[in-house]
Structure 1
């Protein structure tokens, strides 16, 4: 097990390059199962979750060639099995995005129940609802903790599907499954995240006929077969937000390069409300919190284009350090306040009631031994440690390494006192 040692080295300064988006690349990789032709994906971040997805694809029969510089060549000329590898699936919830392409291409998929961060139930019932609407039979095998999905005798057939919640994973899975379904599929109340648009762009390059991605209604006209593609991953908007907050919490000045301002509008708006200077420039986003009188604000997480739940915990760490009382309401995941106990170990004095966190603000944080309770909470603990007095030890950092490429190197490049230490 490894841990991070964090110390307050003062304000962070400099430039940081944002990597390809974790939440985009995983479904992009899964989509390559739709075709026997080679697919090329560029800008792939070097992450633990990407390694898991590579293993998943290889288990199904795909060949994955990694050039070591963010370029993957994936060829699934033959599907060897439609059974997901239990060990890999339980490591990462996003494994479920392989279900849609396998169902479309092979007519069947057997998937163990997924794992990942323990931030909420995140059931796959909406995924299964979509598959059923396309004419598939779904057997929930509770005894073996898996689901078995089988297309009808004539394959998948397009239909109108209304999602009770704009689930990103369900939208992605139904989108991929419907690419080769007979007729037209309409997904209503679809997720609108940039990662959905990125996936649709790749699928269209592969021969799909998709319109409306990025809106709440997506229309898919089925095609007989899918082909290869060359595609570049969009920048990671959550990593973008994390480094914007690194400037804010340390009262520093950072140019966040390769960032798309349109993907992080709520984060920009809330930082400006707090008194942070944020400017859109040609090569990214400039964030300046030097000598600013920063104040409190309230946040409510919502599906895109609302304030992202994935940036809630890093933003909360920042809010502990500004003047005034803040409130953070979490509406997306019911267990996404596990980091509050860890921040309170550092002197934050946050209270929770009815999925609202009340933050008194203006606190001087102090170093402590804390845990990365999930991926984004781990980043929040590091941010808090950069602003705290004394030394902070962050354990269970495998969560962080699931979703941030070159995490330590990027922070130390900005002047952070951050060290990764391997423990026996």
Structure 2
């Protein structure tokens, strides 16, 4: 997808020495002439996923210098699991002037266990260990769909990863990887966002999606009284006139994604009764709540739980985005609300959604983007 984060990551790859061309959804990357092992602060601070270059650089060159990550402004999200994993593989880790420096003459296979499944750490350790010497076993690994696809892609490039799709991954290191052609999987978070919008705004059919990635979201919408039609690669959700309150707790896959928590809060604000939303992944990921209350939602917070009292008649207001998914929740709230709303700092939403206003226009929404 043509996202701001995609462009940021391509800029980072070019700084490292790779060449890339992007045209109408097709991306070609040539990493044969990478000549730098440093990911600078100016880029990494804007997108946390930039930290994912550490594993590949360390595996390929035996050294990486990466700025401590930034990204969305909600809560501390440490990279301890990444660093402990690299150390298990034999890397020396140094923190110097805001940069993490990792060095190893040759990574060695190891036993690595995550106390909590971490998507980022699983990906980073995988990309380092495929070029390590010997066998690496990762236990309690993340099993999100994009981790499964990463494993499959690495295997097609020449890696030897066993246990794909399970929480125990066994990696037998290889000398090198080869280029290949990849088709990305559907974005389940974008799909989930539109499903929740459709539950209150009108009938929506999503095509080229994988419903198995969204089983828990589909079940929650059905519990809320929504009528859905699920096929092999499409989902239709019809407008729910009597939305019922449903409690929700985020969890690692196949649980309810934390990246859809904010959107669910917006949806529950117009449900016929009170509901609780608990985020067990990021306890303070509730920056959207004060902004939704500006639209008229009745929400109170207690640590990592939101109590949402519905139904409330939302009314248009000026609101401010704070991160990618909060932006999506505010957009859903604004489209539900009576009257006109203005959402500022929309650069956040452009990081994770491609031309989202154009897609909502196709569904009949009165929405426009203004420069200013």
Output one character per residue of 1:147-205: Cα deviation in whole Å (capped at 9) or x when no partner.
10001x3x000011001221111000000000011111000111110010111111111
> Which residue of the partner structure matches residue 199 of structure 1?
150
- Summarize the alignment of residues 124-203 of structure 1 with structure 2, pairs less than 5 Å apart: 124-141=79-96, 144-151=97-104, 153=105, 155-203=106-154
Asked if the contact 1:91/1:115 (under 8 Å) is kept, the reply is: yes
- Summarize the alignment of residues 357-368 of structure 1 with structure 2, pairs less than 5 Å apart: 357-368=306-317
> Which residue of the partner structure matches residue 69 of structure 2?
114
Matched, 1:71 2:26: yes
- Separation (CA, whole Å) in 1 of partners of 2:20 and 2:79: 27
Classify the secondary structure of the residue corresponding to 1:344. Answer: helix
Asked if the contact 2:210/2:232 (under 8 Å) is kept, the reply is: no
- Separation (CA, whole Å) in 2 of partners of 1:119 and 1:166: 20
Asked if the contact 1:119/1:334 (under 8 Å) is kept, the reply is: no
> Which residue of the partner structure matches residue 325 of structure 2?
376
How far is 1:325 from its partner? 0.7
Matched, 1:323 2:272: yes
How far is 1:350 from its partner? 0.5
Classify the secondary structure of the residue corresponding to 2:39. Answer: coil
- Separation (CA, whole Å) in 2 of partners of 1:206 and 1:195: 16
List, as ranges, runs of 4+ consecutive aligned residues in structure 1 with deviation greater than 6 Å. Answer: none
> Which residue of the partner structure matches residue 264 of structure 1?
214
TM-score normalized by the length of structure 1: 0.86
> Which residue of the partner structure matches residue 370 of structure 2?
421
2:304 pairs, out of 352, 355, 378, with 355
> Which residue of the partner structure matches residue 289 of structure 1?
239
Asked if the contact 2:324/2:351 (under 8 Å) is kept, the reply is: yes
- Separation (CA, whole Å) in 2 of partners of 1:288 and 1:335: 32
> Which residue of the partner structure matches residue 7 of structure 2?
51
Asked if the contact 1:137/1:149 (under 8 Å) is kept, the reply is: yes
Classify the secondary structure of the residue corresponding to 1:229. Answer: coil
How far is 1:73 from its partner? 1.1
How far is 1:120 from its partner? 2.0
- Separation (CA, whole Å) in 2 of partners of 1:353 and 1:96: 32
Asked if the contact 2:283/2:303 (under 8 Å) is kept, the reply is: no
Asked if the contact 1:127/1:170 (under 8 Å) is kept, the reply is: yes
- Separation (CA, whole Å) in 2 of partners of 1:334 and 1:283: 33
